[in-house]
Amino acid sequence: MINLTEINVTNIKGVGEKKAKLLKKLKIETIYDLLTYYPRDYENFSEVFKIRDKINSKGLFKVKVTSKPVVRLIRSNLKLTTINVKDDSMGAVLVFFNLPYFMQSYFTRGNELYIYGEVSKKNYEIQITNAEIVNNSKIGTFSPIYGLTAGLSNNEITKITKNALSSFSEKIIDYLPGQVKDKSILMDKYEAIENIHFPKSIDLYNSARRRLAFDEIFFLQGVLKSQNFRSDSKNSKNILIDNDLLNNFYENLPFSLTGAQKRVLDEIFIDFKNQNMNRLVQGDVGSGKTVIAAICLLIASINGYQSAIMAPTEILAKQHFETIKKFLKSYDLDIRLLIGSTLNKEKQTIYDDLESGKIDIIVGTHSLIQESVVFNNLVLTIVDEQHRFGVEQRKALYNKGDHPYNLSMTATPIPRSLALILYSEMDISVIDELPPGRQEIDTSVINYSYIDRLDKFVIKQIKEGRQVYVVCPLIDESDMPLKSLEEVFSHYNSSTFLDENISTCALHGKMKSSEKEKIMQDFKDRKYDVIVSTTVIEVGVDVPNANLMIIYDADRFGLAQLHQLRGRVGRGKHKSYCVLITNSNSEVSYNRLQIMKESTDGFFIANKDLEFRGQGELLGTRQHGINDLYFIDLNKDLKMIKYIQDNYDRIFNEIKRYDELENEYKTSISYLTRDSK
């Protein structure tokens, strides 16, 4: 199909300079762009429904006109036309705004026609709005709905796409050989493209989607494979595990490890034994990943090697530095912190001591991957919140060692199918159990009418010495009626709070990261009582004194994200609360938010999120590129994902058309990595 990236749309019948310009606004310049400009939805003309069965939804109806059109002028530029119709189930009123005059002739009394529209109940009558008259030739099909731009109608894009399909069908060459398609029961590429635009039936649509999903997974797998920096078969340095030392460590811990932590450690120890580790530890906020990291660091150090742990922000790095020093205090280890704000003189000392091998463990941020950092014998790399780093960054740290063991950690619970896609080259360990005695965070869902009461509660908590997080979805006011950060910030700066000597700071993504970190640090140091923020506080900063999380317009967030945000509180000994504010009266968003009340299990919540919001939301917030996956259905394609992963090399070898594949790769790689960073 790649050859089609070289053919301009002006080669399509009916596309001149003018249309080409309009198409360009939709980022469509070549035939390839056009054919991969997939419909965002379809009108279902394949089935005629009864009006009665489609109240509050859309459908195709066969109606008989029972009255003449009545035209009323609402405003100088707004004409309302109503026509009475009926089908075998009931009567209804067709409502048109500014119906062109010539169209009125369709609606002569007694005439029968097919109408596609939206049925609703208004003022005791059944109305059909946004209706279109459906040509007999379209009955039985699905009609694509494309994203549009001014000056280009859906009909025009439909026609252009049809023309392109018929003129260039021969150029859509399938890179997959027949035997692969047969084995996996995959549709031919041309047929898939055709049926994704113009499905001849639901079944054919499903087959087309599945075929295109296969391509997405297959290409992505290739991309990930090419990015993988640790598939080398070369062994890492030999590491011995000293059980006496470990037992001593465990005995001196202020807690005993959970079963899940022990299991994950066992998995890690097997990697040490096999002298090969590329493992991702997934564990909900607070599941105790840091102690696991500390144990690995200890083991590597005792074996005489250097190790590094990298975190995405200075605060997190500092936090890790303190915690790890505490965990390892009874061992004579040289542990240092290297971050952007480390003084230059100190940096130089650290560089020297890393290179000479004096330092055992270095904790840091991106500063660790600068060129001036040279290790003596780096054997273990740990990356915390690994999804916050790009491949290049992770690779840069890795390459500072000699085939080091690599441990990544993330608090983002994601469904298994997604984990399989994103982390196909890693072994995954899951800490699926929280340490005992964790307090439940009291979660409630309220609407704006309770704000006064909430304010009183906020003041009470602060009087008792606590601190409060407030999160809202937006910075500016453009997208009313949502509460903006400014608005919420000024609410907490109103006399209600000022009179109580309550101080509030604000934090948002448009700030420089040094600014953000300063505010976060000040909040941690209790210089403020309230922090109003966009979601930038998501990352695991520990403020044990904060016990109340308030989230405005909570329905705007994904559940997994709400879960992460909620995890900011409940980290100290104080009873903690999470208040979700919503003004949405939709039942779906209400039910969705109720899940937050019912569950504290990140994986359960992530799966529910998938059910409710669909994968777009999940995919959209992940690693770059993944948001472009369009056809993969995380619920349906788990088996296919696994199949491709297990058989990737074999399928790759069966593909004779390497050139074709390579080009498809290039396109999909540039496609997958666009807007990255």
Q: Is 275 in the site for ligand ADP (CB under 6 A)?
A: no
Rank residues 29 and 601 by Cβ distance to Mg ion and give the closer one.
601
**φ, ψ for residue 638, nearest 5 deg:** -55, -45
- Render the burial of 509-522: b for 16+ CB within 10 Å, e for the rest: eeeeeeebbbbbee
Residues 387-416: x/- map of binding to ligand ADP (CB under 6 A)?
------------------------x-----
Q: Can you tell me which of 84, 161, 195, 261 binds ligand ADP, judged by CB under 6 A?
A: 261
* 180 versus 268: smaller Cβ distance to Mg ion: 268
Query: What minimum distance in Å lies between the beta carbon of 296 and ligand ADP?
Result: 13
Q: Tokens at residue 453, please?
A: 């009461």
Residue 602 makes contact with Mg ion by CB under 5 A:
no
User: How many residues at the interface with ligand ADP, by CB under 6 A?
Assistant: 15
312 near Mg ion, rule: CB under 5 A: no
Q: At closest approach, how far in Å is the CB of 412 from ligand ADP?
A: 11
* Binds ligand ADP (CB under 6 A): choice among 189, 209, 237, 289: 289
199 touches Mg ion by CB under 5 A: no
Closest CA to 505 of 483, 537, 529, 540: 529
In contact, 360 and 306? CB cutoff 8 Å: yes
Dmax over CA atoms of the chain, in Å, equals: 95
Candidates 91, 340, 357, 435: give the one binding ligand ADP (CB under 6 A): 435
Distance CA 405, CA 267 (A): 13
Sole binder of Mg ion in the list 199, 540, 567, 570 (CB under 5 A) = 540
Cβ atoms < 10 Å from Cβ of 505: 18
Among Mg ion, ligand ADP, none, partner that 286 touches (CB below 5 to 8 angstroms by kind): ligand ADP
Q: How far is the CB of 32 from Mg ion (least distance, A)?
A: 44
CB of 291 to ligand ADP, least distance (A): 5
> Tokens at residue 556, please?
């705007």
Q: Any contact of residue 567 with Mg ion (CB under 5 A)?
A: no
Residue choice 126, 291, 337, 363 for contact with ligand ADP (CB under 6 A): 291
SS3 547: strand
Q: Taking the complex as a whole, how short is the minimal distance between the CB of residue 361 and ligand ADP, in angstroms?
A: 16
CA neighbor of 470 nearest in space, from 527, 544, 549: 549
Cβ proximity of 572 and 290 under 8 Å: no
Which of these segments, 33-41, 141-149, 281-289, 497-505, binds ligand ADP (CB under 6 A)? 281-289
- Amino acid symbol at 485: L
- CA nearest neighbour of 229 among 6, 341, 397, 388: 397
Strands 427-431 and 405-410 turn out to be unpaired
Tell me the site size for Mg ion, rule CB under 5 A.
1
Cβ neighbours around 664 below 10 Å, total: 21
Rank residues 357 and 544 by Cβ distance to ligand ADP and give the closer one.
544
Which among 71-79, 229-237, 357-365, 539-547 is the span making contact with Mg ion, rule CB under 5 A?
Answer: 539-547
CB 607 within 8 A of CB 617: no
- Applying CB under 6 A, the span of 8-16, 42-50, 287-295, 357-365 interacting with ligand ADP comes to 287-295
Binding partner of residue 558 among Mg ion, ligand ADP, none, CB cut-off 5 to 8 Å per kind: none
What is the H or E stretch that residue 470 is in? strand 467-471
In the bound state with ligand ADP, the residue whose beta carbon lies nearer, of 30 and 323, is 323
261 binds, among Mg ion, ligand ADP, none (CB under 5 to 8 A by kind): ligand ADP
203-212 in b/e form (b: 16+ CB < 10 A) is ebbebbbbbb
Do 189 and 1 touch, CB atoms closer than 8 A?
Answer: yes
Peptide bond before 481: cis, by omega within 30 degrees of 0?
yes
Could you give the CA distance from residue 656 to residue 641 in angstroms, rounded to a whole number? 22
Among 26, 173, 257, 482, binds ligand ADP (CB under 6 A): 257
**CA dist 147 to 138, 196, 502, Å?**
20, 15, 48
CB of 186 to ligand ADP, least distance (A): 41
- In the complex with Mg ion, which residue's Cβ is closer, 415 or 540? 540
Q: Is 540 in the site for ligand ADP (CB under 6 A)?
A: yes
Query: Binding residue for ligand ADP (CB under 6 A) from 119, 285, 296, 629?
Result: 285
Residue position matching structure tokens 């009558």 = 125
| DSSP E strand boundaries for 542-627 | 546-551, 577-581
Residue 19 touches which member of ligand ADP, Mg ion, none, C-beta under 5-8 Å by kind: none
Q: How many residues are there in the chain?
A: 677
Q: Which range in 8-16, 66-74, 283-291, 347-355 contacts ligand ADP by CB under 6 A?
A: 283-291
Task: Tabulate helix, strand, coil % of the chain (nearest 5).
Answer: 45, 20, 35
Task: Give the nearer residue to Mg ion in terms of CB position, either 291 or 562.
Answer: 291
Q: Which is nearer to ligand ADP, 537 or 593 (CB)?
A: 537
SS3 category, 634? coil
Residues engaged in binding Mg ion (CB under 5 A) = 540
Residues lying near ligand ADP in the complex (CB under 6 A) are found at: 255, 257-258, 261, 283, 285-291, 411, 435, 540
